[in-house]
Structure 1
């Protein structure tokens, strides 16, 4: 497809979308703008975009598709600016924000000018940020939720999907309200719970200094999403406040039920509580990407001898397998430690497991 695509916000998401579009539509021209001029310069230098715009006004004027890849609060300001500009008659405007009701309501100012707005949320991310972390495979097999307003027609939705087909994502069309509820349940609320568990551990540490040391293992893993950007989650909570207040109320009822089971020492009911949760959790898809970026961890039981870590990383480097993180859960003399290696994808983890198995007899498991 020919056309000009204007990406506003050249971070991980905006940069990755630009790469996907360039890969799929070689005749298209991808123009980029970021308030951070260094990000714009870098995006042009490494080939993420074809042209750099010196302003939103300049880049939007001739665009066939405008992608707003900024935080939602910034996107609302961009939408207001776009509504005052002389855009192309058939331009499609979309965003990448993780909440949709407020942004769709804000986009009514575009609809009043006859400009098509289709909300979008590619449900993928990475531990890295910035345009230098952008990659074409970021959205592959991820869900990409579209939340068109009532003025967008089926043809415009299909056109946007065609422009974005290089993402190799799975497109789902839902209402803005349904989107915010779905992401509230499987993404936003779990982040609140993770943060609350960390707060509880921090408070408990005043009573016992061992808390911090013991929390370095499994506790650190189950709360790792609490390390996400505080500014981003502040905005998400405020923008999805009604849904999260409802979920918090339901959570308190759930915890009250658990408290009653404990108070009455209802052994069978407690067992069933955990069994039901286990059955549901074990039945969740393992090959699909969900709302929270997956962590592709490989746990390797390693003996504690000098050079064992460099030995393993050397094998991985020999097979050109990249890792994103590496750490030791426990290592003492004559005791096997657990080396946790994190990868960018399930494919990389599988290759690493095969590689280590080929060169060693170390036991491994996936997390």
Structure 2
């Protein structure tokens, strides 16, 4: 295989790293407006060559990933059209699909296009933050056109699965409606909530000072790239507006219930949301798979975390993540430890309690 990348940021870089890992003999070329990122990718051994402009180097690619900002990808389609062979598949990684599909139709490139959206990411951006496992166990939405050959779709789906992502073939209109609700609206809510607290804070900034667990959890994504999210909102504005209208209506309803002291209705709000949230998939390898975590009281002294980690390592228990919890708003402990599976978690609890650590389970 030969694979081309146009743009090599967080998502493009992560896909390229996964391709290099699972298909080490693949030739990978990349063009990016940020020269430093592609040069670093060459130094890292992720890509083979930097391409300075869109030219014949892309003509014999099996796949070409458009990983530039959404507004730039249409321009690259026009440049690629006279270059690519009949069997080349162009795909993208954008969070919205309607605009790119309409451009593909206008250019009569439907037979060579399969839309893509890996539902993974981070508030951090750029190639420097890319990682091979970013798309692992994440849903990877695939939106073929009506003219994409079925065999090409199946081959691409298998390719995505081989990178350890979870491919899901879906109509692009449905994709944009679904992501408006579960991805785009949450970013708007997070950003608007942060701005609300900023505007409503006391003169001495007490809200900012004590902002803790719940607030930080729900607003983490507000740290994402403003440029990227402006483009996402502009290219999916109709779907977002439709769902935002319903969301505003639901908030107004909640406000009325509070004003009228309808405690039963407020209880029902929390009860139904809890039950639905708890019904989300928690088994298997999906992005909402169960998290195996414990919390542990930790004495504030040098080497405390290292000692705990050494105890677990000496018992062949691998840690997936470990970090200090800075707020005790909802959690009694100050150290959060995450494991890869339930067996490791249970063994760790037993071992740490034998060493007289205070463990909390959730």
Same fold (TM over 0.5): yes
1:328/1:337 contact within 8 Å kept: no
Instruction: Please report the TM-score for the alignment, with normalisation by the length of structure 1.
Output: 0.84
Instruction: For structure 1, list consecutive stretches of 5 or more residues without a partner in the other structure.
Output: none
Note the aligned Cα RMSD (angstroms). 3.1
Map of 1:247 onto structure 2: 243
1:151 aligns with 2:144: no
Superposition deviation, residue 329 in structure 1: 1.7
Map of 1:161 onto structure 2: 157
- How big is each residue's C-alpha offset from its partner over 1:86-105, in whole Å with a ceiling of 9 and x where there is no partner? 22121110000011111111
Q: Evaluate the alpha carbon distance shift between residue 91 and residue 161 of structure 1 in structure 2; reply closer, same or farther with a 3 A threshold.
A: same
1:5/1:29 contact within 8 Å kept: yes
Q: Give the secondary-structure state (helix, strand or coil) at the position aligned to 1:19.
A: helix
Superposition deviation, residue 16 in structure 1: 2.2
Looking at structure 2, the residues matched to 58 and 295 of structure 1 have their Cα atoms a distance apart, in angstroms, of 46
2:282/2:289 contact within 8 Å kept: no
Q: Give the secondary-structure state (helix, strand or coil) at the position aligned to 1:223.
A: helix
1:272 aligns with 2:265: no
1:9/1:69 contact within 8 Å kept: yes
Map of 1:47 onto structure 2: 45
Instruction: Please report the TM-score for the alignment, with normalisation by the length of structure 2.
Output: 0.85
Q: Evaluate the alpha carbon distance shift between residue 183 and residue 202 of structure 1 in structure 2; reply closer, same or farther with a 3 A threshold.
A: same
1:306 aligns with 2:297: no
Superposition deviation, residue 301 in structure 1: 4.2
Choose which of 80, 86, 89 in structure 2 pairs with 1:89: 86
Aligned length: 352
Superposition deviation, residue 187 in structure 1: 0.8
Superposition deviation, residue 269 in structure 1: 2.2
Looking at structure 2, the residues matched to 357 and 52 of structure 1 have their Cα atoms a distance apart, in angstroms, of 52
Q: Give the secondary-structure state (helix, strand or coil) at the position aligned to 2:340.
A: helix
Q: Evaluate the alpha carbon distance shift between residue 249 and residue 255 of structure 1 in structure 2; reply closer, same or farther with a 3 A threshold.
A: same
Question: Where does 1:163-312 land on structure 2 (aligned, <5 Å)?
Answer: 163-206=159-202, 209-287=205-283, 288-290=285-287, 300-302=295-297, 304-307=299-302, 310-312=303-305
Q: Give the secondary-structure state (helix, strand or coil) at the position aligned to 2:12.
A: helix
Q: Give the secondary-structure state (helix, strand or coil) at the position aligned to 1:86.
A: coil
Looking at structure 1, the residues matched to 238 and 289 of structure 2 have their Cα atoms a distance apart, in angstroms, of 27
2:111/2:148 contact within 8 Å kept: no
Superposition deviation, residue 305 in structure 1: 3.9
2:66/2:91 contact within 8 Å kept: yes
Q: Give the secondary-structure state (helix, strand or coil) at the position aligned to 1:119.
A: strand
Map of 1:61 onto structure 2: 59
Looking at structure 2, the residues matched to 72 and 324 of structure 1 have their Cα atoms a distance apart, in angstroms, of 35
Looking at structure 2, the residues matched to 251 and 48 of structure 1 have their Cα atoms a distance apart, in angstroms, of 43
Q: Evaluate the alpha carbon distance shift between residue 224 and residue 146 of structure 1 in structure 2; reply closer, same or farther with a 3 A threshold.
A: same
Map of 1:100 onto structure 2: 97
Superposition deviation, residue 352 in structure 1: 7.7
Map of 1:339 onto structure 2: 334
Looking at structure 2, the residues matched to 295 and 55 of structure 1 have their Cα atoms a distance apart, in angstroms, of 44
Looking at structure 1, the residues matched to 48 and 275 of structure 2 have their Cα atoms a distance apart, in angstroms, of 49
2:30/2:51 contact within 8 Å kept: yes
1:122/1:144 contact within 8 Å kept: yes
User: Which segment drifts farther, 256-265 or 131-140?
Assistant: 131-140
Looking at structure 1, the residues matched to 191 and 40 of structure 2 have their Cα atoms a distance apart, in angstroms, of 34
Superposition deviation, residue 188 in structure 1: 0.6
Looking at structure 2, the residues matched to 295 and 190 of structure 1 have their Cα atoms a distance apart, in angstroms, of 21
- How big is each residue's C-alpha offset from its partner over 1:178-216, in whole Å with a ceiling of 9 and x where there is no partner? 111111111110111111211221122135632122213
Looking at structure 2, the residues matched to 350 and 300 of structure 1 have their Cα atoms a distance apart, in angstroms, of 16
Instruction: For structure 2, list consecutive stretches of 5 or more residues without a partner in the other structure.
Output: none
